[in-house]
A and B are shown apart, each in its own frame.
Chain A
Amino acid sequence: MNSRTLSYVLSAGALVGLTALAFAVGRYPVSLNELFSVLFGQSVSPNVETVVLQVRGPRVLAALVVGAALAAAGTAYQGMFRNPLVSPDILGVSTGAALGAVLGIFLSLNVILIQLFAFAGGLVAVGLVYFIGSRLRGHDPLLALVLTGVVIGTLLGSAIALLKYLADPYNQLPAITYWLLGSLAAITPRDLGTAAPLALLGLAPMLLLRWRMNLLALPDDEARALGVDTRKLRTLVVAAATLMTAAAVAVSGIIGWVGLLIPHAARLLVGPDFGRLLPLAMLLGAAFLLAVDTLCRTIATIEVPPGVLTALIGTPFFLWLFALARRSW
């Protein structure tokens, strides 16, 4: 077995093990016996059934979906922009989603509408960035896109700041702060049911085009010489990555680190080829966020915000991997 295959096998093994563990632990005591009974449809106490099927189960699966989606989107963007500092929100999807959610909270809407606002906000923000960025001629198209993303992101950020300023300080401001911190605490089966299909829909084109994705890393004229319409391909990748990220962020709030550093971890293990990179990044992203979220919901009576732990756990792990790997970009 070569080292690449080993990376896949180990990551997949870790993911399966973590998932089993995540189902078994939580604040509410559920024995392994009860857990198996619920999963195989036998009757147990209604509370245990609620915990496993309505609370813990959806949350575990949501952590997997969100982690994989953020990692996949980050991988696609880093390849496309040929830049290691790029994360899924480079074109404003997270900021747009945040503005949508903050507006929803400001207007005291219910949770479904807040999520819808967040999702739509993410799509609209990237749509706007792409529309403007692709019309700025006379520059490198990628640079135009990134810069437009940065300035529009700042604009949306100031709109968020304004809403925070105007929000009721006792009621809405804490709610806004909690949303911006990100959390999987309030995940319901319905959230999973909406986010997962959308994330898959975004994933499909990436998987289908995974071999062509490498060409995006080439300069436009070279790619064109190889018969690839980079503009079309780029539009498709941006649309797919945005859909995945927006679906994830709408239910989880903003969770950093995963989309930026998991792709690097995967690249250190299997190299830059997108076809090999994508599945591993998704495995690692899912496993990482699941591990973090499991800690978030178990170590204290109150929830720990995932953003606190992603960096706390992720940074040493990443530096260790970086020191260990001999692979270059």
Chain B
Amino acid sequence: MVDVSGREIRPPAKVERVYAAGPPASLLVFAIAPDKLVGWTRAMRPNEAPFFAERYAQLPELGRLTGRGNTANVEVVLKAKTDLIVDIGSTGASLASLATQVQEQTRIPYALFDGRIESTPATLRALGKLMGNEAEAEKLAAWYENELKQARQRVGRASSHPLVYYGRGVSGLQTGGKGSINVEILDFLGARNAAAEARSGLATVPFEQVLIWDPEVILTTDPNYWASVWTDPRWRSVKAVAVKRVYLSPNLPFGWFDFPPGANRLLGVWWAGKLLYPREFADLDLRARVTEFHRRFYHREPSAAQLDAMLGEPGVLPK
């Protein structure tokens, strides 16, 4: 079998224990076969653990192996008696060479997959095949594919596409330009990214530039920034703040909008869809969708109280 970087992967006949090198990989391995995941890249925090069955929430912390900063010790990965290492996300040459290197060192097959939202169904199928869980993976992939298709159809019915600014960090001045993985949801939803002309990837922009863009909607992942826009005279001059369309993405147990950049962002597609195209997404029942996503991917439905806390937090949805 060939992974997305073109490297040939020879998995053992029976894959029982999988080490996921980063959060997007953990999430998909867990979704396909929760009992095969040997650990999380970092231990579940107390506010994240209640979303999972206790035995899964208590899986050990093994560290990250690739991407931004390694924290995993290769010996720990070996000690975990892993049959397969999986990473999902960027598939550039440096990651591919790192994968080859670790594979040679450990003699554990190391597969890379594409982490983009649109690639998720294909990634699920390929990963399922590799892990020997094709049936489970196919179910998830088909469902995910259908949800993406429906979201796309809703967007297709929209006559206007709002101008959206994504503000990161406590100052809200960090944003992602066109093609950034951080604003993939905006691109998927056909929204006009106010910062499209900024470079692809994260960048700080001058406040005056935001004022020129004058976005109609602001989405953020930072609760401190969200709280500050209402009293900061600078931000109050921006249209989105004046018309009270600044929204804060939920972040438990994994973020909805930007990070980690994995399959979890389907939640953000629905959420941002409802905010950006209220009419076209009016009949989408967010509570039901979130519940179903959790059931399929996290293997536990959120309680009513958990849903209330997630969706009722100030800024998550219009009042």
Contacts and interface: CB of A to CB of B under 8 A. Distances in A.
Partners in one complex: yes
Nearest to B181: A170
Contacts of A174: 168-169, 174, 202
Main secondary structure of the interface of B (DSSP, over half): loop
Contacts of B34: none
B176 to A, nearest CB: 11
A170 B234 contact: no
Size bracket, chain A contacts: 35 or more
B258 A303 contact: no
Nearest to A108: B224
Interface residues of B, number: 40
A47 B177 CA distance: 24
A109 B170 CA distance: 8
Contacts of A178: 169, 174, 204
B203 A55 contact: no
A302 B234 contact: no
A185 B228 contact: no
Interface in A23-54: 26-28, 46-47, 50-51, 54
Nearest to B242: A46
B11 interface: no
Contact of B208 (A28, A105, A111, A302): A28
Interface in A182-211: 183, 185-186, 188
A173 interface: yes
B125 to A, nearest CB: 26
A188 B174 contact: no
Contacts of B227: 110
B69 A171 contact: no
Contact of B206 (A110, A165, A303): A303
A264 interface: no
A27 B208 contact: yes
B267 to A, nearest CB: 16
B233 A54 contact: yes
B208 A55 contact: yes
Interface string B23-52: 000000000000000000000000000000
B73 interface: no
Given A51-B208, A297-B208, A303-B204, A186 B228 contact: no
A27 B212 contact: yes
29 contacts: A26-B206, A47-B237, A50-B237, A51-B211, A55-B211, A110-B170, A111-B170, A165-B71, A169-B64, A170-B255, A170-B258, A170-B260, A171-B258, A174-B168, A175-B174, A178-B169, A178-B204, A183-B204, A186-B171, A186-B207, A188-B234, A297-B208, A301-B197, A302-B199, A302-B203, A302-B205, A302-B206, A303-B205, A305-B204
